[in-house]
A and B are shown apart, each in its own frame.
Chain A
Amino acid sequence: MARPGLRAMTSDLRNRLLLLLVLPLSVLVLVSAWLDFRSADDAAVQHDQRLLRLLPGLADSVVAATTPGTEPLLMLAPAVEEFLRRSGEYTAFSVRTVDGELVLGEDWVQGPLPATTAAEFHSVEYGGVTYRVAVQRGETNAGELVVALADGSDPRQQWLQQLMLRLLLPNLLLIAAAGLAIYWSVRHAFKPLVDLATAVEHRSPRDLSPIDEATSPAEVRPLVRALNHLFDMVRAQVDGQRRFVADAAHQLRTPLAGLQAQVEAWALLARSGGKDRNFDEKWHAAHIQITPLAITLGVDEIEKLRAATRRTSQLAHQLLALSRADARNVDAAAMQRVDLKELCGLALELHLDAAAARGMDLGLEAQPVHATGHDWLLRELLSNLVDNAIKYAPPGGRVTIRCGRSTVRGVLCAYLEVEDDGPGVPPDEYAKVLQRFYRAPGAAGEGTGLGLSIADEIARAHGSTLQLMRGAQQRGLLVRLLFAPESAAPIEPPKTGLGE
């Protein structure tokens, strides 16, 4: 429940961190690109000026041909020669007549023929490279000519190319790295929080013990403290409630004992009265106690009264047992080694009369086995389970108390179970029947709806839970308490061959 929320929270945080980091980074990239462009622009202006300075040199280098009709000669000035040599293939020149006819150099190095003697600058594409071309018309030794110099090392051009390489790529890499770093660090920074959430989430609703503050990171400690405070308050309230129920049940038992003793005695008298010779005298004696306004009750009424009283007494007893069996209230350290076979035998003895009264076959299938637990609680557990089985199974049914050990995931575990062949409980009702005061629809009228929840509480006090399933041949109900593996004692060597 808390988990998807937390996941959303961390991913939300991740996105926000990423956005907060990427925005300034992008601004930085833009600023740096702009600055870079400015410096490239400056360099371009310097380039233009250099070309401008070299143009007169080029013009001077043109020497008129000695024989008319032939091409003029080129005697490159040292500065121009150095420029052409140094920049290699990215430089070129051309000399042409004012009509545009090429005299010397490369044909492509040209712009629109200038009308004045002022230098002009053009950009010319050649061989995939954009060249800066300076063109000037001027007087030379060979008459009026148009000279042009081309330079391919245009910083503005290179700037565009290098922009990708020098600026965008590293920055994109940086942003990607930042994203990864954020993802990783948010995950790691939030791990204690996620762990805390998992711990709280996986807690049993009955577990109200405080969370260890020392193991949580300092930032969430106030939260842990607040949670612990809340746990404390809830625990205090739950404890108070449990004490109240226990006290109330305990206080109820004294008047109930008196009421029950009276009603039980009346019931005995009323039954024996019919066949007793001194019936009249005794009947009279029994009724003298409720004079002067004598009311005569028939045997049936008295027995109904007795049944109601017994049920009330049982309820008081079970409420008390429930509060005593409360898993939070039971001291796990005080567990002893319990002989489960003996326990089953005692439960059988205790319920033999009740089973016989309903014509039921109450039996035992017990292997010698011990477990670590609370003797009196386990007695209470078996008593409630057997009582339930006898109450809810039809007359003439079969109830079996079992103990032994079974292999669960490769480990031997001791178990206690009670199986009946009654109507059973539909599997989708299993969780409900463990709730306090829940009674299955159509259940016979006798139960209090507490037996199974007491048994479940006791199972919890033993670090286990009650398992409900169908009995043999998919009939009836089988309730099992599986002990934790470490509590299963090794098989006892047989003492004398006679058991027990």
Chain B
Amino acid sequence: MRLLLVEDDIMVASGIKLGLADAGYAVDWVGSGERAQEVLTKESFDVGIIDIGLPGIDGLELTRLLRRPEMANPAMPVLILTARDALQDRVQGLDLGADDYMVKPFELPELLARLRALLRRSQAANTAVLSFGSLELDTANRRVSIAGADGLAATVIEIGPREWTVLEYLMIHAPKPASKDKLLQALTGWDKEITPNAVEVYVSRLRSKLEPHGIALRSIRGFGYRLEQTP
């Protein structure tokens, strides 16, 4: 996974680089917006982390620039880092094509989780395969499978169309929880008159199919469900 880090603070940058490299990302680090623009015209990255407070071309400007068609990957998901956390900055950041933001100082595990979610979403848009841990959802072939460990063959799991809708929604939003209301909305494509109980039924069916493979559907009291990996 190739990642571009645009950050002028050496301490922050080296920390992120260290942490991300450990998590398996190939990190390219540049310290200015101008340099980032130069790199982005030539090379394609899977994801970018951009600091707002850059000298010269700042993070917001850069995010706007990199969406231009002449850039190598205009669809690159971007996570904005900001030390400013006033509301205006947040909204502006997201309006200008950033996909997510984090306020400095931040916790690395949180950054990693956000990156994974960003990548999963962009992956879903590009490759039609969603993955969560060992669970894979092939949206083109409508196939759910559990990747086999160490070169073993994948296990295919049979699920019904409504279960598919629920699982797809949960996977797109993982690790965020999905509210029952949203799941109901997603399911209305199938049935006009659908009750909240139906969601519970599909979730419990999915549970019995996925839990043996280390994937849990945790109930969040009063809210909905969340996809989790059980160790």
Chain A interfacial positions (CB closer than 8 Å to B):
250, 253-269, 272, 276, 282, 285-286, 289, 309-310, 313, 316-317, 320, 324, 345, 348-349, 352-353, 356, 361-366, 375-376, 400, 498-500
Q: A269-B22, A349-B177, A499-B181 are in contact. Are A262 and B105 (CB under 8 A)?
A: no
CB-CB under 8 A from A253, the residues of chain B are: 83, 104-105
Q: Are A268 and B108 in contact (CB under 8 A)?
A: yes
Inter-chain contacts of B60 with A (CB < 8 A): none
- Residues of chain A within 8 A (CB-CB) of B176 are 349
Task: Given the known inter-chain contacts A264-B107, A498-B181, A500-B182, please indicate yes or no for A257 contacting B22, CB distance below 8 A.
Answer: no
Given contacts A256-B105, A268-B22, A356-B228, 7 further A-B contacts (CB under 8 A): A250-B83, A260-B105, A261-B16, A262-B14, A276-B22, A313-B105, A375-B87
Please indicate the chain B residues that have their CB under 8 angstroms from the CB of A365 in the complex: 222
B19 and A364 within 8 A (CB): no
Q: Give the distance in Å from the alpha carbon of A356 to the alpha carbon of B113 in the complex.
A: 15
Counting from the closest, the 6 A-B pairs by CB-CB distance are A258-B11, A261-B15, A363-B221, A364-B222, A265-B18, A264-B108
Q: How far is the CB of A365 from chain B (nearest CB, A)?
A: 5
Say yes or no: A260-B15 contact (C-beta < 8 A), given A254-B83, A352-B220, A363-B222: yes
Complex: how many Å from CA A255 to CA B105?
9
Residue positions of B touching A, CB distance < 8 A: 9-19, 21-23, 83, 85-87, 103-109, 113, 175-177, 179, 181-182, 184-185, 188, 218, 220-223, 226, 228
| Residues on B with beta carbons closer than 8 Å to the beta carbon of A499 | 181, 184
A420 CB, nearest partner CB in chain B, Å = 13
B226 touches A352 (CB 8 A): yes
CA distance A324 to B86 in the complex (A): 9
The interface residues of chain B lying within 8 Å CB-to-CB of A353 are 113, 175
Contact B12 A268 (CB under 8 A): no
Q: Kindly list chain B residues whose C-beta atoms are within 8 Å of the C-beta of A257.
A: 9, 11-12, 83, 104-106
B15 touches A400 (CB 8 A): no
A376 to B88, CA, bound (A): 10
Q: What residues on A are CB-neighbors of B113 within 8 Å?
A: 353
Partner of A272, one of B22, B85, B103, B188: B22
B182 → chain A closest CB, angstroms: 7
Measured between beta carbons, the chain A residues less than 8 angstroms from B11 are 255, 257-259, 261-262
CB of A362 within 8 A of CB of B105, answer no
Contacts of A309 in B (CB 8 A): 105
- Given the known inter-chain contacts A361-B221, A364-B222, please indicate yes or no for A254 contacting B9, CB distance below 8 A: yes
Main SS of the interface on chain A? helix
Asked whether A498 lies within 8 Å of B185 as measured between CB atoms, the reply is yes
A265 close to B182 (CB less than 8 A): no
CA distance A353 to B177 in the complex (A): 11
A260 and B22 in contact, given A348-B220, A363-B223, A375-B87 (Cβ under 8 angstroms): no
Contact B18 A362 (CB under 8 A): no
Chain B residues closer than 8 Å to A254, beta-carbon distance: 9, 83, 104
Pairwise interchain contact B105-A265, C-beta atoms closer than 8 A: no
CB < 8 Å neighbour of B184 from A250, A362, A366, A498 = A498
Contacts of B17 in A (CB 8 A): 265
A272 to B22, CA, bound (A): 8
Contact B181–A500 (Cβ < 8 Å):
yes
Q: Chain A residues near B188 (CB, 8 Å)?
A: 498
Residue on A nearest B193 in the bound complex, by CB: A497
A205 to B83, CA, bound (A): 32
- Residues from chain B with a CB closer than 8 A to the CB of A317 are 85, 103, 105
| A258-B9, A362-B221, A363-B223 known; A268-B23 Cβ under 8 A | yes
> In the complex the two chains form, is B177's CB within 8 Å of A258's CB?
no
The CA-CA distance from A352 to B175 in the complex, in Å, is 10
Q: Give the distance to chain B from A476, nearest Cβ to Cβ, in Å.
A: 16
Contacts of A276 in B (CB 8 A): 22
- Whether B9 and A352, one on each chain, are in contact in the complex, defined by CB atoms closer than 8 angstroms, is no
- Subset of 29 A-B contacts with CB under 8 Å: A254-B9, A254-B104, A257-B12, A258-B9, A258-B15, A260-B106, A261-B19, A261-B106, A265-B14, A265-B17, A265-B18, A265-B19, A265-B108, A266-B18, A268-B22, A268-B23, A269-B18, A269-B19, A272-B22, A282-B22, A289-B14, A317-B105, A349-B177, A362-B220, A362-B221, A363-B223, A400-B221, A400-B222, A500-B179
Roughly how many angstroms separate A280 CA and B26 CA in the complex, as a whole number? Answer: 19
A254-B104, A362-B220 known; A261+B12 contact, CB < 8 A: yes
Q: How far is the CB of A489 from chain B (nearest CB, A)?
A: 19
Bound complex: CA of A348 vs CA of B86, how far in Å?
Answer: 21
Task: Tell which of B18, B104, B181 touches A286, judged by Cβ atoms closer than 8 Å.
Answer: B18
Distance to closest chain A CB from B83 (angstroms): 5
In the assembly, what is the distance between CA of A209 and CA of B89, in Å?
30
| Smallest CB separation, B14 vs chain A (Å) | 7
* A401 and chain B: residue at smallest CB distance: B222
Cα-based distance from A269 to B86 in the complex (angstroms): 33
Within the complex, what minimum Cβ distance (angstroms) separates B112 from chain A?
Answer: 8
Which residues of A lie under 8 Å from residue B223 when comparing CB positions?
A: 345, 348, 363-364
Using A364-B220, A400-B222 as known contacts, say yes or no to A261 and B87 having CB atoms under 8 A apart.
no
Shortest CB-to-CB span from A386 to chain B, Å, is 13
Using CB atoms, name the residue of chain B closest to A271: B22
Nearest CB in chain A: distance from B32 CB, A: 17
Find out whether the CB atom of A348 lies under 8 angstroms from the CB atom of B83: no
Chain B residues, CB < 8 A from A356 = 218, 228
The CB with the most chain A CB atoms within 10 A, among B18, B86, B87, B175, is that of: B18
Chain A residues with CB under 8 Å of B22's CB are 265, 268-269, 272, 276, 282
Contacts of A285 in B (CB 8 A): 18
Within the assembled complex, what's the spacing in Å between the Cα atoms of A353 and B23? Answer: 19
List, in ascending order, chain A residues with CB within 8 A of B23's CB.
Answer: 268, 272
Q: In the complex, which residues of chain B have a beta carbon less than 8 angstroms from the beta carbon of A375? A: 87
Residues of B within 8 A of A268 (CB): 18-19, 22-23, 108-109
Considering residues B13, B86, B107, B228, which has the most beta carbons from chain A within 10 angstroms of its beta carbon? B107
Please name the residue on chain A nearest to B188 by beta carbon.
A498
Bound Cα distance A269, B20 (Å): 10
Contact B15 A264 (CB under 8 A): yes
Q: How far is the CB of A491 from chain B (nearest CB, A)?
A: 17
B220 touches A363 (CB 8 A): yes
By a CB distance below 8 angstroms, the chain A residues around B16 are: 261, 265
Looking across the interface, which residue of chain B has its beta carbon closest to that of A263?
B15
Residues in A whose Cβ lies below 8 Å from that of B109: 264, 268
Expressed in whole angstroms, the Cα–Cα distance for A250 and B84 within the complex equals 8
